[in-house]
Every structure is written in C-alpha cells, then in structure tokens.
Amino acid sequence: MSSNRVKLSVCTLVSLFAGYSEATCVNWENTSIPESTPASNYTILPDGTLTAPATGLMWKRCLEGQTLVDGICEGTLIIHNWADALAAAEAVTFAGHSDWRLANPKEMLSIFEDRCAYPALNAELFPIYDFFASWTATPVDGSLQDIYISVWVMDNDGGMKPQGRGSFLPMLLVRDLPES
C-alpha cells in the first residue's frame, strides 16, 4: 500500500469517527470549516470524470498525464507553459469528448474544498495526492502587464497565485455540460 493510500485511510477514519462523511482530505483538514464541495453535490462517472450540476461543468478527475488507478491519480504529469497549455487543452479527447479547456479562476475555485489543505481538494472527487497546481485560462490584468503574468492554482491553500506565462505547470481540464 502506498503512503498516499495510508494518508487517505487515516484521514477518512478520523473524519468518519468525528461525524464528517462527505469531504475527504489527504493531508490536513480543519473540521471547524463547513464542507464546500461535498461529494453529494457531484456525479462521479466511471470514465474518470465528474459532473458538477450546480455549475454546469464536467471535470477530469486527474491532471493531464495521470490516470485513475484504484481510485488514485497516478502517472507522470504533463507540464506546459501557458500558451502551450491553452493549445494542448483544446487538442485533448477524453471520455468521448473533444471540447476540453482550461478553467477560468472562478470555475477552479468552485472545486476547492475549504476544509482541506495540501491539496485543497476533496480527494473523493479529485484523488490527486502528490501535487496540485493548474493553469487557468485567464491572464492577470493590471500593473503586472509588462511581466505578462497568468493565473495558476497553488496546491497548499487553494488560492489563486500569479505565475509567469513561461513557467511550466500541469493542467486540470474542464468542459461545459450541454444545456438540457
């Protein structure tokens, strides 16, 4: 059993004994904070995706380069600079869909679990244990324009941090659900 699976098991047991059942944190959990992404608000699909009916989005559950193996995202991350990430996202075909893209910051923030850190994700939904960061599609405006900064997501606290477009980061992809 990998150390990640052990961490998940201990965290899950502590949450269950404490009476918390929906958000599973990998490393650190603040149970005094209400859950922001309970699993019951999402539909986990067997193809490695999940849907978020409240936002009308479908997410890949793993970062690019990873696959879901026994409920954990494993594999070598594919990293890109920002411009290449935008193009690479549009070229992805996964789970029968070819309209994947980078999320905007608001969409990315919608999946962060407020009570979890390192990473700030509900591991029941996004079983990413070793590293989490992802480009977003939205550049930062304002006084940093000369440096040409883009926005990315930091794994520690779920906050949005500016990052130079020439940096190399992974990507978590999203697509819009068809309107019904």
Burial string for 111-121 (b: 16+ CB within 10 Å, else e) reads bbbbbbbbbbb
pLDDT at 159 over 90: no
pLDDT at 132 over 60: yes
SS3 5: helix
Asked if 149 and 164 touch (Cβ cutoff 8 Å), the reply is: yes
Q: Dihedral angle at the C-alpha atoms of 158, 160, 165, 168, nearest 10 degrees?
A: -10
DSSP 19: T
For residues 152-172, give the mean pLDDT: 75
Predicted TM-score of the model (pTM): 0.82
Strand-pair partners of 49: 60
pLDDT single digits (tens) 35-74: 999 999 999 999 999 999 999 999 999 999 999 999 999 9
Other Cβ atoms within 10 Å of 105 Cβ, number: 15
Report the half-sphere exposure of 20 (CA within 13 A, side-chain side).
Answer: 22
Encoded tokens for 144: 């940093």
Strand-by-strand arrangement of the 149-153 sheet: 134-139, 149-153, 160-164
Encoded tokens for 148: 């040409």
DSSP 141: P
Q: Domains in the chain: how many in total?
A: 1
Q: Which helix (H) or strand (E) holds 158?
A: none
pLDDT single digits (tens) 17-46: 344 446 788 888 899 999 999 999 999 999
Report the C-alpha gap between 15 and 63 in whole angstroms.
Answer: 26
Domain containing 124 equals: 3-176
CB-based contacts of 43, cutoff 8 Å, min separation 6 = 50, 51, 53
pLDDT-derived band of residue 137, with 50, 70 and 90 as boundaries?
A: confident
Report the C-alpha gap between 175 and 87 in whole angstroms.
Answer: 15
